[in-house]
């Protein structure tokens, strides 16, 4: 096995362990799945049978991976019934659809805003935290709640009882 393949395998193992520590825990059922055009890092199920496609984004690539992940969700969803026939012991719940879990060390504000707009039932963000000197830098996976961008926060604090966003009166 090549060093790059070994590293990728160690990272997937670390990711699987971190997914099991989430609440609710996500159990990996398939890894490195050829999806629509590219690969899905992991396909998981939660205790209720919901399916989550997990994509890992390199630094600065989270927004592009989010777009790719949305396409992967659409590709994966109609295949869940077939997967249930092939592996009924997995107990997948196709009626619940497919979520995307995007994993990165940090997220662009546009990624956070897009995830917030789509909602947590479709897209969740998870932050990779460094783990010592190891290349496998996944010590703990925290589901990050998509926060409002500074512009959204400003707009939310403006007085709206006048009917104008600016706060001006007639």
Structural domains in the chain, sorted by start: 3-157 (3.40.1350.10)
pLDDT of 102 above 50: yes
How would you label 24-56 residue by residue, b for 16+ Cβ within 10 Å and e otherwise?
eebebbbbebebeeeebbbbbbbeeebbbbbbb
Q: Are 28 and 13 in contact (CB under 8 A)?
A: no
pTM of the model: 0.76
Q: Are 53 and 72 in contact (CB under 8 A)?
A: yes
- Spatial CA neighbour of 93 closest among 49, 125, 63, 146: 49
Of 86 and 169, the one with more pLDDT? 86
**Can you tell me the mean pLDDT for 145-152?**
49
Residue 83: band (very low, low, confident or very high) from pLDDT cuts 50, 70, 90 = very high
CA distance 5 to 65: 21
Q: What is the pLDDT at residue 169? A: 63
Q: What is the pLDDT at residue 15? A: 79
End-to-end Cα, the chain, rounded Å: 72
């Amino acid at each position: 096995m090549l060093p790059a393949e070994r590293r990728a395998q160690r990272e997937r193992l670390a990711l699987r362990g971190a997914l099991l520590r989430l609440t609710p825990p996500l159990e990996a059922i398939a890894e490195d799945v050829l999806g629509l055009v590219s690969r899905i890092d992991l396909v998981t199920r939660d205790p209720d049978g919901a399916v989550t496609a997990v994509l890992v984004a390199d630094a600065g690539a989270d927004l592009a991976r989010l777009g790719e992940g949305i396409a992967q969700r659409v590709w994966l969803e109609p295949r869940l019934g077939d997967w249930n026939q092939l592996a009924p012991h997995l107990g997948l719940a196709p009626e619940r659809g497919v979520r995307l879990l995007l994993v990165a060390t940090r997220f662009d504000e546009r990624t956070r805003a897009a995830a917030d707009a789509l909602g947590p039932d479709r897209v969740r963000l998870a932050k990779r935290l460094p783990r010592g000197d190891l290349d496998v830098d996944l010590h703990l996976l925290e589901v990050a709640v998509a926060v409002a961008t500074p512009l959204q926060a400003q707009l939310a604090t403006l007085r709206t009882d006048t009917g104008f966003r600016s706060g001006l009166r007639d």
